[in-house]
Structure 1
């Protein structure tokens, strides 16, 4: 269904001209400003020891330097994990197709920085190629710092960069201005007070993709330089969005070094061109390298425009695309304009006269292009409102999948059992501790197994040894069969088996709403009033929903339908103590009015947190006469596909999840019609009574033998000690007698 939905949107590119007028895309045609250096001076940064409580601070650097007649201390904090471990770069091959490479890219050398004692100062620096290189922003002044070539004294050049505004600036499309009132209305209605401050502490991560067109490559004539500049542009954007806790993560780069993969000048308008580029991205590698948005950098203007972005297109495979004319522009300006473009994709409009930013004349979302590095108050409000209402789940995922797995030849000692190996105990040192496996990856003499829940002392465990115990009344035990080292498949009672007056078994679990409330809040806690479910679960927010479902822009909480309210968010009553559930979780208490005021206690976890969702009603709880919850939907019992007839088990067992009889003790599977040891054909043989009696007898014999041997050892030890003591006493007596006789002879003489 997902791919069909996307294709439906992709086919709409023929309507883009009308779409652009109606929905007023963010598209401007400013004349590009120029730039020049007004002054430069040579400085020698002196490293300052950065210690906290006597310990060296990791990932932080500080330098003392003097420029423009003032002493400054520059503090730098490293930006970690802004790129994948294996960074993909797509380029053209000889046949014109895209080939995938993974070049070496310096990492852990990009820094966010500021000047000590200078409010509002920001900077983006890197140390990737020796020395300090980047930009510093102090009020409306932009400084470039870079190492002085051929210097042996760590000298750097600091230059003041001044923008030269063009004489004429073309205004934005009239639709953008008309759209401003609509945006203000949307912002005024957005539920900012609750979600914004509650989720503000959770950082978001925007996964970026950049493409360099053939015309831009012709200007650079060097793929390495393009990669370097795009990484620095990405770092500038990360610095700009850092105050709103939005990390800019570079996912991949595509360089059209031979030919443009998409024709850029034949579609009639820039919106159609960018849409076709998004279509190409979707069909070629979108599912392999998933990104949240993309920017196409060109060396020429497309249809006279400087940049283009689909308004609120973030996280959409087609509309999450944009274009920026980079040309010969200074890389600092490229970073600032890219941040402006990302703002439009996030749903931001241009700043109004009432918008302002700290110690800056113009802000990032200003209509006038320039070196802007600070978000305005309007942008802060808009980003938080849009992230919460549209993009929160999409931007909450930090981990990025990697699809390039380096080939490693299989070998003995890698702790992976290959086709020609019986076992693999690892290194020589590890193998000395493993009695079952040799260093040649073969079983030791007399061994038949090395690992597994049914491997005991290098032998298969005896039939009947339990290898997986039950977890509840809806679970079934498994036993070793004496023929292999692994435990049989984990099975449970068939879904739909009655287990309590208010629940049926589902996925091996039996839990109604009362039991679930007690597991969350403690003993004697009960399910809340039906008013809590009927009023809250229809809201579709974090305090009441029917789970998180896929929506355009990412996963969002889904409001419950009338018949499903008792299967959505769990609500409990009579809660007196709230337990701790760790980070990224919240217990909430809401009062609703029905016939009387009702207290509703609930639990929820943040969408992007790796925390189990315990706040939703579990499957199997009753939600009405003959109906039970399944996947947050109230489902009739007939739709649970419970087809177990206990007559097939002769009323002496239950059906398991594989629809086989699990017999009670004393009855033999598969039909439980004859006397036997119980269990099922899937669970392995349970221990027989004879086996249990024999085991008890052997255990008692072993204990008796141990006691007898211990007593014998103690007796021997006591006899040895007695003999030694007796011999020692005889020697002492003889010595004393000899001394007495010698003394007596002396006296007689």
Structure 2
């Protein structure tokens, strides 16, 4: 039986189509909403302690509620870095120009969720405004959950959302109408949309940084910029959830609002022409200012009679990395799915053919008629990853910060030394433990500094105090100059200076291939045979190459030439056991044969697509041929480094540093090391003089000797006392014996 409150609402629901028909001309609408709720139920979520292995997980929540006739537990995991800490929101108006704001938008309240015991279930929830809000997908059913207003018992409403069925021709997506390659249609599902045995399933997350532009028609319809920004955040979170299994993180880069007029006219008869105009405007106005992967226009009206449009496979292509979706008449969940579908075309996803499948869904994300689908098919996975392997430059870059920053009024206590401040120790609590800097951001009486490598007891360290010691035989020591709290810039022996029979100095490091093998695998490990380098590195795959080459469309593996094969991937020998590897790394053991002799080649490699250091590559400075060494995966000579060190210029009493100056040995004075002096260079600061070193040694030795002498004196007194007591007893005893006699 239908609940009484539902029966009361039904007549009003039947009047809605009539009202939309009457109001649409006056409101300039292009049709009634294309969705409706068919049923609702009241639930009360109960928080469940979420623990893993007995440990409380601070970024995970769990709620239990009775839903669909039985009790379910929702497991929620926090989405991190979904939007910047200070999200720039640009308002573009003709009267006032561009205004940049940083409104408070909570970013630590969006969750990726699923229902316990319901395979294939997926939910995008948030707790940003109290209670649970968001989308729940169970099989082909889409639900909306939100708090029940005015409820005092944490009641929520869960409603079943359906999309109005119109003619397929009016809803069909016509972007990139082409057949899916049969090789991908043959993949079978084994309980997961990524179950195919395909190398590209190896997941390394990539950031797709989205710039959202909201048209004037959309903003004018809602007449509330806060609500519009909330829609953008919900849309982005749902799209991020849909693409989460593929390894793509969908991030908000920044938001641009056209609040008085559209910067690019939406009144155009051709969708492709609009994308061209929109892309040109974005490229000329914003691409050089803010790096991003794609621009998404959320429009409030149809553009060229289309709900959405994009160019197939255009991600990372500059002015063509744009798309639009007319989202005003759509529920925000449906708008999110259509954006995800259109973004899929940018990732080179074609429409799913009848052979394409996804787990526990009748239709998948790339069905030709977008609806509320949320799962990517077995056909779309490999197509996307193959494309990204070739065209992912904009998702390999680090997240370059926006050129403008939030304005913060300078103040004492912000830990930034501003004008008229000597220091800034932070809050009152932090300053309480700082004896050199006061709460007024001025030095305490007698203090000259409060931090720095050359600051000791609120004073500048004496000249000659070591502030940065050597880190290896190719590094040089830096000393305080007694006039500043800062240590001089790091100096090291000039690149190309020989440091061992098989290596030269390179950026302060001296390492040959054998030393590198021992650092990776332990002592007694040797460098691999030359045939390992020659046969493997000249192949050009993940087990033998000369690194990655950046180019338009993303980096590609480079095979080594016959001149550079000793400078590619590192190969070692002599391992007796398989070592462990870190995350995203793989240990490899390959064998090569040359003249009836088998050589074993061991090494590490990092999976393609990670930003891990290339620990499996030969380090710069290792010798690769007589008189030649590795530099940037090339076997090169001193000429390429502009090596100009002549020890005669330093009178054979010093070495050249990275600034091409002489660093003199102790006892000789820079810059030419001709005269007697203390050593060092003009760049390293003055070393301590002999008298000062002697005073330091005496000072240090006295601190060591005095406690030792006191300890020995106390032990001596104790031993005397301990030895004297028996003697005293014997004397008293002999005296008593004499008295008795």
Shorter-chain TM-score range: 0.7 to 0.9
The answer as to whether partners of 1:34 and 1:166 remain within 8 angstroms in 2 is no
Matched, 1:196 2:200: yes
SS where residue 380 of structure 1 aligns? helix
- Give the length in aligned residue pairs: 682
Q: 2:263 aligns with which of 261, 264, 287?
A: 261
Query: Given the two structures, how large is their TM-score scaled by the length of structure 1?
Result: 0.80
In the aligned structure 1, how far is the partner of 2:300 from the partner of 2:531? 62
In the aligned structure 2, how far is the partner of 1:42 from the partner of 1:375? 29
Change (3 A) 1:387 1:280: same
Matched, 1:621 2:633: no
Change (3 A) 1:437 1:185: same
Counterpart of 1:221 in structure 2 is: 223
Counterpart of 1:122 in structure 2 is: 122
Q: Which moved more, 1:708-717 or 1:595-604?
A: 708-717
The answer as to whether partners of 1:207 and 1:250 remain within 8 angstroms in 2 is yes
**TM superposition shift of 1:331:** 2.0
Matched, 1:45 2:44: yes
Q: Deviations over 1:257-280 (max 9, x none)?
A: 2111123345x6323321332232
Counterpart of 1:746 in structure 2 is: none
Q: Deviations over 1:4-33 (max 9, x none)?
A: xxxxxxxxxxxxxxxxxxxxxxxxxxx999
Counterpart of 1:634 in structure 2 is: 635
**TM superposition shift of 1:470:** 1.8
Q: Deviations over 1:386-407 (max 9, x none)?
A: 444543x754678673555444
Counterpart of 2:735 in structure 1 is: none
In the aligned structure 2, how far is the partner of 1:134 from the partner of 1:421? 49
**TM superposition shift of 1:640:** 1.1
In the aligned structure 1, how far is the partner of 2:413 from the partner of 2:139? 60
In the aligned structure 2, how far is the partner of 1:690 from the partner of 1:408? 50
Query: Given the two structures, how large is their TM-score scaled by the length of structure 2?
Result: 0.81
The answer as to whether partners of 1:238 and 1:246 remain within 8 angstroms in 2 is yes
Counterpart of 2:422 in structure 1 is: 422
Q: Deviations over 1:429-464 (max 9, x none)?
A: 544544444444444444444333333334443333
Counterpart of 2:238 in structure 1 is: 236
Q: Deviations over 1:600-659 (max 9, x none)?
A: 222233566664332222222233344322222332321210112222222222211121
In the aligned structure 2, how far is the partner of 1:96 from the partner of 1:193? 56
The answer as to whether partners of 1:44 and 1:153 remain within 8 angstroms in 2 is no
Change (3 A) 1:187 1:590: farther
Q: Deviations over 1:536-578 (max 9, x none)?
A: 3345554333334433344554444443332222222223345
Counterpart of 1:247 in structure 2 is: 249
The answer as to whether partners of 1:96 and 1:258 remain within 8 angstroms in 2 is no
The answer as to whether partners of 1:219 and 1:328 remain within 8 angstroms in 2 is no
SS where residue 339 of structure 1 aligns? helix
Q: Which moved more, 1:456-465 or 1:341-350?
A: 456-465
Q: How does 1:148-159 map to 2 (within 5 A)?
A: 148-151=148-151, 154-159=154-159
In the aligned structure 2, how far is the partner of 1:367 from the partner of 1:44? 35
Counterpart of 1:747 in structure 2 is: none
The answer as to whether partners of 1:397 and 1:608 remain within 8 angstroms in 2 is no
In the aligned structure 1, how far is the partner of 2:420 from the partner of 2:391? 52
The answer as to whether partners of 2:133 and 2:145 remain within 8 angstroms in 1 is yes
Counterpart of 1:64 in structure 2 is: 65
**TM superposition shift of 1:130:** 4.6
The answer as to whether partners of 2:475 and 2:509 remain within 8 angstroms in 1 is yes
In the aligned structure 2, how far is the partner of 1:178 from the partner of 1:120? 28
**TM superposition shift of 1:101:** 2.0
The answer as to whether partners of 1:32 and 1:306 remain within 8 angstroms in 2 is no
The answer as to whether partners of 1:32 and 1:166 remain within 8 angstroms in 2 is no
The answer as to whether partners of 2:359 and 2:375 remain within 8 angstroms in 1 is yes
Counterpart of 2:354 in structure 1 is: 353
**TM superposition shift of 1:514:** 2.1
SS where residue 167 of structure 2 aligns? coil
In the aligned structure 1, how far is the partner of 2:642 from the partner of 2:480? 30
In the aligned structure 1, how far is the partner of 2:652 from the partner of 2:362? 83
**TM superposition shift of 1:699:** 5.0
Counterpart of 1:456 in structure 2 is: 456
Counterpart of 2:317 in structure 1 is: 316
**TM superposition shift of 1:365:** 0.7
Q: Which structure 1 segments of 5+ residues have no match?
A: 1-30, 722-749
Matched, 1:210 2:209: no
In the aligned structure 2, how far is the partner of 1:433 from the partner of 1:339? 53
Counterpart of 1:87 in structure 2 is: 87
Counterpart of 2:102 in structure 1 is: 102
Change (3 A) 1:73 1:427: closer
In the aligned structure 1, how far is the partner of 2:480 from the partner of 2:331? 70
SS where residue 599 of structure 2 aligns? strand
Q: Which moved more, 1:340-349 or 1:97-106?
A: 97-106
SS where residue 254 of structure 1 aligns? strand
Q: Deviations over 1:19-59 (max 9, x none)?
A: xxxxxxxxxxxx99974547324423242534447876643
The answer as to whether partners of 2:50 and 2:62 remain within 8 angstroms in 1 is no
In the aligned structure 1, how far is the partner of 2:170 from the partner of 2:537? 50
Change (3 A) 1:714 1:323: same
Counterpart of 2:673 in structure 1 is: 672
SS where residue 668 of structure 1 aligns? coil
The answer as to whether partners of 2:365 and 2:374 remain within 8 angstroms in 1 is yes
Counterpart of 2:687 in structure 1 is: 686
Q: How does 1:341-420 map to 2 (within 5 A)?
A: 341-391=342-392, 394-395=394-395, 401=401, 405-420=405-420
Counterpart of 1:488 in structure 2 is: 488
**TM superposition shift of 1:208:** 1.9
Q: Which moved more, 1:119-128 or 1:632-641?
A: 119-128
The answer as to whether partners of 2:35 and 2:330 remain within 8 angstroms in 1 is no
The answer as to whether partners of 1:293 and 1:314 remain within 8 angstroms in 2 is yes
Counterpart of 2:645 in structure 1 is: 644
